[in-house]
Amino acid sequence: MKGHESLRRKASSGKLLTDEVERCYSSPNIALRRYAHLARIYWEKWGCTRVPYTRKLLLILLLVGVVSVFLLYASKDDYDTSSCTAKENIQDAGPNTYTVIVNTFKRPDLLQKSIRHYASCPNVDAIRVVWSEQDNNPPKEGNDSDSKFFSSCADVVYDQHPTTSLSNRFRPISGLRTEAVFNVDDDVNVECSSLDFAHQAWQLAPDALVGFIPRLHRKTASGTFTYRRWWTVVMEGAYSIILTKACFMHRDYLALYSETVPREAIDFIDKGRNCEDIAMQFAVANHTGRPPLWVVGRYTDAGAFDGISTTGSGILGHRARRDDCVTTFVELYGRDPLVVAHNYVISAGSLWAFLRPPVWIEWFAFP
């Protein structure tokens, strides 16, 4: 497990974050209270003082939600893919670069869009595509019909796997030139500036999973566990899981997953076609004893109802299994290794972004 001990030493060296982070609040509730206070001031300024305070806030939140959904459907790609700078083929990438690992499965249109987008980000060193399709060979560079699956802006390499296991996304990869890897689904596009900001946060916490989508687990009175989403995280100001559908991690954690996640957990994941992301969080937390790190950023998610883990079973079936996943993994590990965090990282220039869910589906992520 080369590199694991160095990561463990980094984990024990002190705080996850330093003053170099632009802004870090101890609880998202602070932002919510400020939001409510500003909403009240503006509403009273507009002369609507007869409406009760709670109704004012609810109406404003509803208005923000409607506008956000409208903008989501009214706009297409919000990034520029018309130009890029071709990168030299070098052995070692610079410290500010990272590799993007795209997980895809039989969605060529989304894959093309994902490659086009991430190749346009200036600090992406290379793109590695997890290819698990058994009835189709991966695109081949040089074929005119496959040209849209490659880019002159970044190396695009297809890593073919002999199975359809969801854990393929965490198999060790040879030839990586960067320590940081950004694991992402083909239906999630993170804006380049948010991607760079999250990488900067990861550089301060290379032992953690650093990403954009937080979740929280809870223990019930009966001893089982529940899995909670956006609004629970926001209202309680706590999270213990970062989803790997948009997440930075150290490249050594690919080997960590393959070597330490119990075989029974892998079989459970393959049988249910779900929860490899939770298993990665278990593996990292069990190894470091540290919590993940949530970065607030801008991204789009086209997989709310047709994600890699939700196709066929539907989104309701997908969510129903998450509780069982957490409970099963705790049993297999013999303890609950997940660590609850109360901090998040946000750019000082985009504090307003936290005042609304990042994508429309999160508005309905109750509880």
Active-site residue set: 277
169 and 270 Cβ atoms separated by less than 8 Å = no
Q: How far apart are CA 240 and CA 219, in angstroms?
A: 12
Structure tokens at 3: 């590199």
In the sheet that holds 225-228, the strands lie side by side as 225-228, 214-219, 241-242
Q: How far apart are CA 151 and CA 125, in angstroms?
A: 12
Q: Spell out the alpha helix ranges (H) of the chain.
A: 4-11, 28-45, 53-74, 108-120, 192-204, 230-236, 252-260, 263-272, 276-288, 314-333
Q: Print burial letters for 68-81: b (CB count within 10 Å at least 16), e (below 16).
A: beeeeeeeeeebeb
Q: How far apart are CA 251 and CA 191, in angstroms?
A: 22
Q: How far apart are CA 33 and CA 36, in angstroms?
A: 5
Burial label for 197, CB within 10 Å (0-12, 13-18, 19+), is buried
